[in-house]
Structure 1
Amino acid sequence: MTTVLLVRHGLTATTGQLLTGWTPGIGLDERGRAQAKALGERIAPVPLDAIVTSPLDRCRQTVEEIVAARAGRTAPVPDPAVDPMVGECRYGDWTGKPLTELQKDPLWPVVQAHPSAVVFPGAEGESMLDMQHRAVSAIREWNARLGKDATYLVCSHGDVIKAIVADSLGLHLDQCQRIVADPCSLTVIRYTPLRPFLLRLNDTGGTVDDLLPRPATQGEGQEAGGESDAVIGGGAGIDPDTANGAEG
């Protein structure tokens, strides 16, 4: 059995506001680094045979914090491997635009209800089906490379993780928008010869913050599209500064 720890990168200054995609130079903010450090400390007892990361800065910095948290506490792990196959979906002309603007685009409801039919506009746009195929293929390739007894970590992005989870559950990609992957959440899949097993989903540490009523400032990026819409790119999750009603 091969166990994969899927980690979404921590918060950035634009998470849940802009669809950053492959925009370079966007790293974690202080909240994101704190999230990554806390996750690293929480999973430090778990032996890892490899750490794989998306090439984007926000994922690489998340991995840096996770590796630092393991220093001196567990056996050393190999240097993180950068794999573009687990990189963010290529959103083409949508890249860098505010989510509130994108919610008015005619393609938005298609992304919500029928993502398997979506090809993002522009020369660099990728289909969500191609994104899922490359990401799942990467996981399968790493599983084969590391072997059946391996446990390894992959740091990636919200939509990518949701697509991998949908595959592991035998769901059509059109159902992936029912899955949530918050910043710095932990999702764990165990792959066996017959079928994968989803062990954890969107685990952010066992608190109940995500169950509390959200202040008015929370979730603003979704309001224009309706409360049933999934946030493309994954959204910002619960802001730790306002989760308990503190002013942000």
Structure 2
Amino acid sequence: MSTVLFVRHGLTAVTGSTLLGWTPGVPLDERGEAQAEAVARRLAGLPLAAVVTSPLERCRQTAEAIAAGRAAPLVDERFGECGYGEWTGRKLSELAKEPLWRVVQSHPSAVRFPGGESMTEVAHRAVGAVRAWNAELGADAVYAVCSHGDVIKAIVADALGLHLDQFQRIQIDPCSVTAVRYTELRPFVLRLNDTDDLAAVLPPPPAEGGEAAEGSDAVVGGGAGGPAAPPSSTG
């Protein structure tokens, strides 16, 4: 019964406003560093067999905090961010005006980002990586995987037996912990988006002009934490 603790990376200066994708050289900001240290303290007493991480800097920094005093993190590109292609580096407020945005929201299994990956490919590689690590580390292993919002959402959807088109119903905040136990018959989702921060369940603030934020769109890439707000408010 392998138990995997999926940890999303901490905040960067542009998390929630810009779709970073595989943009290199984007480190955690001060908030993200504090989040990484906090989640490392939460996991400090657990006997982790390994800490596995996406190769991107924001994940590696988070993983290094978790791995302090343990073996160095192991890099696995299969846990890397979705290849957003031509969407990479663009503002979410701009992307929300693209026709493809509505497909991403309602039918992500049909999406291939221009010049990039399909969401189905992302889910396949990430879930395949989990199964490979479960086999390598052994049935009783407890280990951590540091990855990205959409990647973890795809893994959770698989664990819950959901079609990929339902994965936008899942929220994964920065430095949240999602725990899944994999057994011979089925996975069990033990924790989901656990940050110990009940403020994150409050409704979003009013949008400009005093109107209530609708918040029904999922933020592509995962957002900056807390309730999902319309992309126009993240710019």
TM-score normalized with structure 2 length: 0.92
Mapped contact 2:201–2:226 kept (Cα < 8 A): no
- SS where residue 199 of structure 1 aligns? strand
Residue aligning to 1:90: 83
Q: CA deviation at 1:215?
A: 4.0
Q: CA deviation at 1:217?
A: 7.8
Compared CA separation, residues 176 and 66, structure 1 to 2 (3 A): same
Q: CA deviation at 1:227?
A: 1.6
- SS where residue 157 of structure 2 aligns? helix
Rounded to whole Å, the distance in 2 between the matches of 1:120 and 1:130 is 11
Match of 1:130 among 121, 146, 151: 121
Residue aligning to 1:141: 132
Residue aligning to 1:31: 31
Residue aligning to 2:225: 237
- SS where residue 99 of structure 2 aligns? coil
**Uncovered stretches (5+) of structure 2, i.e. residues with no partner:** 228-235
Match of 2:199 among 196, 209, 216: 209
Rounded to whole Å, the distance in 1 between the matches of 2:132 and 2:14 is 32
Instruction: Please tell me the residue identity of whatever aligns with 1:79.
Output: A
Instruction: Please tell me the residue identity of whatever aligns with 2:225.
Output: G
- Runs of 4+ aligned structure 1 residues displaced above 2 Å come to 211-218
Instruction: Please tell me the residue identity of whatever aligns with 2:190.
Output: L
Q: Percent identity?
A: 66
Instruction: Please tell me the residue identity of whatever aligns with 1:202.
Output: N
Instruction: Give deviations 1:2-26, integer Å, cap 9, x for gaps.
Output: 0000000000001000000000000
Matches within 5 A, 1:1-248: 1-68=1-68, 71=69, 77-122=70-115, 125-205=116-196, 207-216=197-206, 227-238=215-226
- SS where residue 6 of structure 2 aligns? strand
Instruction: Please tell me the residue identity of whatever aligns with 1:201.
Output: L
Instruction: Give deviations 1:64-103, integer Å, cap 9, x for gaps.
Output: 22223xx3xxxxx332110000000000000000000000
- SS where residue 168 of structure 2 aligns? helix
> Paired residues, what number?
223
Compared CA separation, residues 11 and 25, structure 1 to 2 (3 A): same
Instruction: Please tell me the residue identity of whatever aligns with 1:88.
Output: E
Instruction: Give deviations 1:114-168, integer Å, cap 9, x for gaps.
Output: 000000002xx00000000000000000000001010000000000000000000
Instruction: Give deviations 1:16-56, integer Å, cap 9, x for gaps.
Output: 00000000000100000100101100111111001100000
Mapped contact 2:51–2:66 kept (Cα < 8 A): no
Rounded to whole Å, the distance in 2 between the matches of 1:118 and 1:193 is 31
More displaced stretch, 194-203 vs 208-217: 208-217
TM-score normalized with structure 1 length: 0.87
Compared CA separation, residues 138 and 108, structure 1 to 2 (3 A): same
Q: CA deviation at 1:211?
A: 2.5
Rounded to whole Å, the distance in 1 between the matches of 2:118 and 2:203 is 35
